[in-house]
Amino acid sequence: MKILVDEDSQARKQLDVLRGAGHDVVSIAELDRNGGLEPEVFVLAQSSQRVLLTHNVADFHALALACPGHHGVIAIYRDGDPRKNMNYRDIGRAVSKLEASGVLISGQFHVLNHWR
């Protein structure tokens, strides 16, 4: 899967896990675009034909709803109890499960927490 990782999700370990699973991953920092507004990041994902991975659920859900035909958004909710949050490997496995499931990703907003 071709993925653009948003600023809030681009820890080096996370990128390594996703790449190790065979995904074509680029982060906002690697594109020298840290600090960009959400609409700019969303447009960048679309122009580079990448699925956007983010922890910024609310903002990108609204953008996905407003812009049908996008390449897909995969979002991770943070829990109030940090012990329930997804770690880097959980996220990597969830992305792989989502991709392997065959469900449509393009044009969709998927919550990765449901793919643990």
User: What would you report as the CA-atom Rg of the chain, rounded to the nearest whole angstrom?
Assistant: 13
What is the pLDDT at residue 79?
84
Q: Which range marks the domain in which residue 98 is found?
A: 2-115
**In this predicted model, what pLDDT tens digit does every residue of 3-59 receive, in sequence order?**
999 999 989 999 999 999 999 999 999 999 999 999 999 999 999 999 999 999 999
This prediction has a pTM of 0.94
Cα 1 to Cα 4: distance, rounded to the nearest angstrom: 10
What's 38's domain CATH number? 3.40.50
Among 83, 85, 4, 79, residue whose Cα is nearest residue 40:
4
Cα 46 to Cα 85: distance, rounded to the nearest angstrom: 28
- Give the mean pLDDT of 63-67: 96
Cα 87 to Cα 83: distance, rounded to the nearest angstrom: 9
Q: Are the beta carbons of 54 and 9 closer than 8 angstroms?
A: yes
The total number of structural domains in the chain stands at 1
